[in-house]
């Protein structure tokens, strides 16, 4: 992975301003910014992708039976114009 890659003039080019945010459009061909989440699987050598069960995100949701949700703003609130 090229996530911890250092960037210098040879990888960025001379027209890239140093204080601008780096995007995949401005990096070299190995630069991948991603979207901030961890991958849920692996790439195969033939170009496929398979999801691994141990890497999938699991959400623990509490039991909400008998829980009466109330609106954040009541319907009886007068309309402000």
pLDDT beyond 80 at 74: no
Examine the pLDDT at 70 and tell me if it is beyond 80. Answer: no
CB count in 10 Å sphere of residue 28: 13
pTM: 0.33
pLDDT score of 45 more than 90: yes
Predicted pLDDT of residue 6: 58
Range 1-18 average pLDDT: 58
Quote the CA–CA distance of 76 and 55 in Å, as a whole number.
46
pLDDT of amino acid 46: 94
């Amino acid at each position: 992975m090229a996530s911890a890659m250092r960037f210098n003039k040879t990888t960025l080019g001379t027209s890239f301003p140093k204080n601008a945010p780096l995007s995949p459009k401005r990096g070299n061909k190995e630069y991948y910014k991603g979207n901030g989440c961890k991958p849920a699987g692996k790439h195969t050598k033939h170009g496929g992708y398979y999801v691994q069960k141990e890497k999938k995100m699991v959400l623990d949701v509490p039991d909400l039976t008998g829980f009466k949700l109330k609106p954040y703003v009541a319907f009886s609130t007068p309309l402000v114009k």
